[in-house]
Amino acid sequence: MTSHFSLKPKKLDWYILREVASPFAGGVLLFTFIFLMFQILRLAEFFIVHGVALGVLAKMTSLLALSFSPTALPVAFLVAVLVGFGRLSSDGELVAMKAGGMSLLRMSAPVLGLGLVVSAFSLALNLNWVPWGEREFKSTLIKVGNTKVVSSIKEGTFTSGFFDLLIYADKVDTRSNRMKGVFIFDEREPKNPLTIVAREGQIVALKPDSALGAASVLRLKDGNIHRNNADEDSYQKIDFEEYRLFLKIAPGADTSYLKPRMIPYKTLTKRIYESAQADPKKNRELRVELWRRFSTALSPVVFVFLGMGLGTIRTRSVRAGATLAAFVVILIFYGPQTLGTVASQKGLLPPWLAMQLPNLIGSAAAYLGFKSASW
């Protein structure tokens, strides 16, 4: 006689797995699309205003999608479990399986297997791939801004902080990177400030064969330079037909400061060790980030039992379960995780406990729901 608790895969296991896997795949695409929609205006600005090439825009979209994956995967998995078991429950198939001697715990085996795969994949993304994607997106964003810098200049307005320059232009053409009626005040050398006036100017990337340039040149035509020398108490005027200003971001400017979420796992653990005595506040911040990655990756395992417990509750519409999932994720994760982050940074809770609060609360809810659904 075959035991009902045997872990050997059966046809029903594959059937249950298909019921969960299909909405999971759709959920990943759906939630990734929803998260990207919040960035659509930003991406449209890169294409319309900055004139970014489609290839570069596709790269930036892919990097954004990668950065959303740690959130999209667990949420999609919870919705998949809710939808899958909600349909089994509403069609009476769940009752038939239980009547045939298959317990709810036994039904969880194929779902738990999928949950472990999703959890392992999420962990791999969280530890290295997502931080890499965050750094790559930041680097690409800076290069886009460096290549299409003219888009930051507004017509008839003084723009400060433009490569440490104050600049004004009567007319600006963002497509050709050309300006007319240019005025520049350069005080990068406080003792010898320059005032430059030119009939027209154009920003040219130093790497015209590439979609992204590492630096640019501001080419000015038909103008003059006014120079004051404070030490010699002198004034100098120089007329020019063409004058070039080299616009360059300092080496390493795109990676000189990395937020904790951009740091790869090995570097993160190294910085945690180095800051343990030197900077306790920074150490807590880094440890919060480390444990956040593990906590988020562990959530699909919790969602197996939470989703099965809630999914077996009979509802008039299976879609109601998906709506419920969205609220559950928001309440279980973003609320306690935000509070835990604040409490940990203030030293009220150890980082590992603060970041596991969502999973602990979710586990308690999963236990109660799973217990009530088992008979």
Q: What is the pLDDT of residues 66-124, one digit of tens each?
A: 998 988 899 899 888 888 888 888 778 888 888 888 888 888 899 999 999 999 999 99
What confidence score (pLDDT) does residue 209 get? 46
Of 326 and 15, more confident: 15
Measured CA to CA in angstroms, residue 200 lies from 86, 162, 258 at distances of 67, 17, 38
Beta pairing class for 234-248 and 215-229: antiparallel
pLDDT at 313 over 70: no
Measured CA to CA in angstroms, residue 72 lies from 203, 296, 373 at distances of 40, 11, 27
Give the integer Cα–Cα distance in Å for 210 and 261.
Answer: 29
Measured CA to CA in angstroms, residue 159 lies from 120, 131, 166 at distances of 48, 33, 6
pLDDT at 315 over 90: no
CB count within 10 Å of CB 329 equals: 22
Q: What is the pLDDT of residues 338-362, one digit of tens each?
A: 888 888 888 889 999 999 998 998 8
Looking at residues 53-63, what average pLDDT do you find?
Answer: 86
Average pLDDT value for the chain: 82
Residue 7 near residue 63 (C-beta atoms within 8 A): no
Q: What is the pLDDT of residues 162-197, one digit of tens each?
A: 777 889 999 988 777 789 999 999 887 777 788 999
Give the integer Cα–Cα distance in Å for 24 and 31.
Answer: 10
pLDDT at 54 over 50: yes
Is residue 18 within a helix (H) or strand (E), and if so which, with residue range?
helix 11-37
The upper half-sphere exposure of residue 257, i.e. CA atoms within 13 Å in the direction of its Cβ, equals 2
pLDDT at 22 over 80: yes
Q: What is the pLDDT of residues 211-229, one digit of tens each?
A: 555 567 888 999 999 887 7
Is residue 207 very low, low, confident or very high in pLDDT (cuts 50, 70, 90)? Answer: low
pLDDT at 208 over 60: no
Q: Which residues contact 255 (CB under 8 A, 6 or more apart)?
A: 135, 138, 139
Q: Which residues contact 229 (CB under 8 A, 6 or more apart)?
A: 191, 192, 235, 236
pLDDT at 252 over 80: no
Residue 303 near residue 85 (C-beta atoms within 8 A): no
pLDDT at 287 over 70: yes
CB count within 10 Å of CB 246 equals: 10
What confidence score (pLDDT) does residue 319 get? 56
pLDDT at 251 over 60: no
Which amino acid makes up residue 144?
V
**Rounded percentage of the chain residues whose pLDDT exceeds 90:** 29
